[in-house]
Structure formats: C-alpha cells, structure tokens
Amino acid sequence: MSGATERGYVDWSLASYLDKLASEAPEPGGGSVAALVGALGAALVSMVTHLTLGKPKYADVQDEMAEVEARAAQLRAQLEDLVTLDAQAYGAVAAAMKLPQETEEEKAERKDLLQSALNGAAAVPLKIALTAVEVARLSLPAAEKGNLYAVSDAGVAVLLADAAAQAAALNVKINLAWIEDEQFKRDAWTCVQAALSEAAALREAVLSVTYDKL
C-alpha cells in the first residue's frame, strides 16, 4: 500500500501499518502510534461494557454502562481519525521545510508556513493526549462496576490510555521546541502537564481496583 485509504491508516491491515511504521518512511511515527494505542484502550472499555450490558447480575449499572459504552465509541472514533491526522500534520511540516529560501521573500513565506505547520503538528498530539485522558476516565467505572470477569481488560485500558497520553506528550514537546509563539507553547504544555497528571492518577486508581478484584 502506498498511502492511507479514505479512513486512513485504520483501514490498513495491522501487518501493513507495522511494516510502514518500521520502515524509513517519516510517517507514521510516535504520534500516530499514540492515537492507535488510545483507540485500543477505548475499544477495551467498550469490550467491558458489552460484557456487562444485558446481564441481570449488573442490572443496577445498565444505564451507566450504556453511557460509558457510547462515550467510549465516540472516543475510539476520534482516536482512529487522529492515527492518520498526526501523520498528515507531520507531512505538512516536512513539506514546509522543503520550501525554497533563496530570497528574503521566500524565507519569510517559508517561515510563516513552517510555524503554522508546527502549530498543527503540536495541536494534533495535544488532542490525542486529552482524548486519551477521557479514555482513562471511562476505565474507572468500567473497572469498578463492569463485568468482574473483564476487570483485567479495564486495567489494560487505563494502561493504554496513560501510555497514549505519555507518547502524545513527547510529540507535543518535540514540536514546541521549534515554535516561536511563546504563549502557544506555554498554554499547550500546561494542558499536557495537566493531562499527564490526571492520567497518572487514574492509572493508579484503576489498577488498584483491578488488582483488588483479581
């Protein structure tokens, strides 16, 4: 396969995606992987809810599990899109870096386009991090109230969500280093730090519940 399909990399076979990831191609890279890992976490949350819904033993939590399932499906769809959007954002940076800079006008145009592309390249993994935290939030009720036999899957979900947030943060950071807008940099990194702090707290909480139930 030479390029992503209409839905992007999520339409590729797993083997094809991994082959391109392992190649010398500039994308997909760590940001795309962060989104994919987050989507896997969301899918596991959905798995737990599907194993809980319709079960008489969990009659008291049916409405809540239905809400968790609906939101997990939305987050999964967003993260699936971000798997490809991150690669596209990097492509915009790469294209801007290749622009000519022989004249002062060309240099100015290249600088403006590159800064715009870098802002986009930082904004996408920031979105991944924030979305991953939402997945981590959903893993808590999944672990606490979901099907007991799937509690380990809720635990894995929060681990994947935390990993996705951490991986996305690295990709935000590397792009911020090239961005000249200091306010944008401060605001973006403040959001990242808050996301990482919440993800870490949720990871500990969900793992505690999970191990207690195993």
- Report domain extents, the chain: 30-213
DSSP state of 102: S
Q: What does the block give as tokens for 139?
A: 């893993």
Contact 99, 110 (CB under 8 A): yes
Q: pTM for this one?
A: 0.94
Which region among 72-76, 80-84, 88-92, 129-133 has the lowest average model confidence (pLDDT)?
A: 88-92
DSSP state of 8: B
Mean pLDDT for the chain? 95
Q: What is the percent of the chain with per-residue pLDDT over 90, rounded to a whole number?
A: 94
What is the reported pLDDT for 26? 87
User: What tens digit of pLDDT does each residue of 97-127 get?
Assistant: 999 999 999 999 999 999 999 999 999 999 9
Ramachandran category for residue 25: left, alpha or beta (phi over 0 → left; psi -120 to 50 → alpha): beta
DSSP state of 3: S
pLDDT at 2 over 80: no
Which region among 6-10, 39-43, 88-92 has the lowest average model confidence (pLDDT)?
A: 6-10
Q: Collapse the DSSP code of 31 into the 3-class scheme (helix H, G, I; strand E, B; otherwise coil) and give the result.
A: helix
Going by C-alpha positions, the residue among 163, 172, 162 that lies closest to residue 198 is 162
Instruction: Please give the average per-residue pLDDT across 69-85, as a whole number.
Output: 97
Which contiguous run of DSSP H or E holds residue 74? Answer: helix 62-97
Q: Collapse the DSSP code of 5 into the 3-class scheme (helix H, G, I; strand E, B; otherwise coil) and give the result.
A: strand
CB atoms closer than 10 angstroms to residue 185: 19
DSSP state of 59: G
pLDDT at 4 over 90: no
Q: How many residues belong to the chain? A: 214
Residue 144 vs residues 85, 138, 155, 179: alpha-carbon distances, Å: 33, 10, 10, 42
Ramachandran category for residue 5: left, alpha or beta (phi over 0 → left; psi -120 to 50 → alpha): beta
Ramachandran category for residue 23: left, alpha or beta (phi over 0 → left; psi -120 to 50 → alpha): beta
| Rg of the chain (C-alpha set) | 19
Q: How far apart are CA 208 and CA 214, in angstroms?
A: 10
CB atoms closer than 10 angstroms to residue 60: 8
Domain 30-213 carries which CATH code? 1.20.120.680
